[in-house]
Chain A
Amino acid sequence: MPTLDDERFEAHLKRFRPLAPEPLPTVGTIRRARRTFVLGAWATAAVAILVVGALTLHIRTNRARVTETIGNVGNPGHLTEDQPLTMRSANALMAKAPSFKSMVDDMAFRGQKIPLPKGKRSAVALLGKEKIKL
């Protein structure tokens, strides 16, 4: 085989391409980590927004319910018909009533709305009709 001159031999050597190294591990890892971080951040933000929204809604609903309840408690007429007597309703009655006596009367003589079966009468009603001889 003839001996090649330097330039041709160099060209011959350059035809042999060095093998490529394995891909850098971190480039993919960094990109993957960055993508995961961005996705995670978005997901966290979305969850946070949902939680804050739900909490706000819950708080507003509760506040409206409490306000409504207080309003209802503050109405003595309504209280005597629909609601049981509690410390809160008693306080509300006390605040609304013109005097202590009227408040006590109001509490004492609330209308009985418990329905009785046909033909039966309450003990209070019977006692109220009974003539007591002194």
Chain B
Amino acid sequence: MHRTDGDTAEIEFLYRQHGPALLLFAQGVTGERSRAQDAVHQVFLKLIEKGSLNRVADKKAYLFACVRNAALNEGKRRDRNTPLEPDSAWFSPPDRDYVGERNLRCALGALPNDQRQVMVLHIWGELTFSQISDLLDVSSNTVASRYRYALAKLRDSMFAKENSCANS
């Protein structure tokens, strides 16, 4: 397949548009920002090398699937489970709410991996439950269930931390 300037421009646009959510998703899978960055770059470099996304119906879901595979393959290759990085920021906080950012990061990190993936895909990736179900190869009900659990845990965890911070 021949790559054109239009294809490259489209891939660049997709990178700018979905790059942050993809990186966050990959960070949730790999636990390390650098490995997540590698996974995202690897996907887009392959896209640039091999051609366009014209044949892909749902480009956003496809990108998340590619990044997930790349991140998982990277994890398998390294053969180790790295804990989530506690210190590097994942988000740009609103109103310089760095404490809130840290709480959110810690709360996300405390979630089970499958729940964290669903949460990131739905909230920041803006994928529907149906898209997530196709991507993770689980039923929509399972996705919805994981999401509800994750949301409740996240809320409890974040506000418990905020309250503990406020009390201390």
As a 0/1 sequence over residues 19 to 55 of chain A, the CB contacts with chain B under 8 angstroms (1 = contact) are 1111011110010000000000000000000000000
B12 interfacial by beta-carbon distance below 8 Å: yes
Among residues of B, the one whose C-beta sits closest to the C-beta of A4 is: B155
Q: Is the CB of A19 within 8 A of B92?
A: yes
Cα distance A30–B124 in the bound complex, in angstroms: 30
Q: Is the CB of B90 within 8 A of A19?
A: yes
As a 0/1 sequence over residues 109 to 150 of chain B, the CB contacts with chain A under 8 angstroms (1 = contact) are 000000000000001100000000000000000000000000
Given contacts A27-B8, A30-B48, whether A16 and B94 have CB atoms under 8 Å apart is yes
Q: Is the CB of A6 within 8 A of B151?
A: yes
Among residues of B, the one whose C-beta sits closest to the C-beta of A34 is: B5
Residue of B92, B104, B162 with most chain A CB atoms under a 10 A cut-off? B92
Q: Is the CB of B123 within 8 A of A14?
A: yes
Q: Is the CB of B41 within 8 A of A21?
A: yes
Q: How many of A's residues come within 8 Å of B, CB to CB?
A: 21
As a 0/1 sequence over residues 30 to 62 of chain B, the CB contacts with chain A under 8 angstroms (1 = contact) are 000000010011001100100000000000000
Q: Is the CB of A16 within 8 A of B48?
A: no
Q: Is the CB of B41 within 8 A of A16?
A: no
A-B contact pairs, 11 of them (CB 8 A): A1-B166, A9-B151, A13-B154, A16-B92, A16-B101, A16-B104, A18-B24, A18-B124, A19-B24, A19-B90, A24-B44
Residues of B in contact with A (beta carbons under 8 Å apart): 8, 12, 15-16, 19-24, 37, 40-41, 44-45, 48, 89-94, 100-101, 104, 123-124, 151, 154-155, 159, 162-163, 166
Residues of A in contact with B (beta carbons under 8 Å apart): 1, 3-4, 6, 9-10, 13-22, 24-27, 30
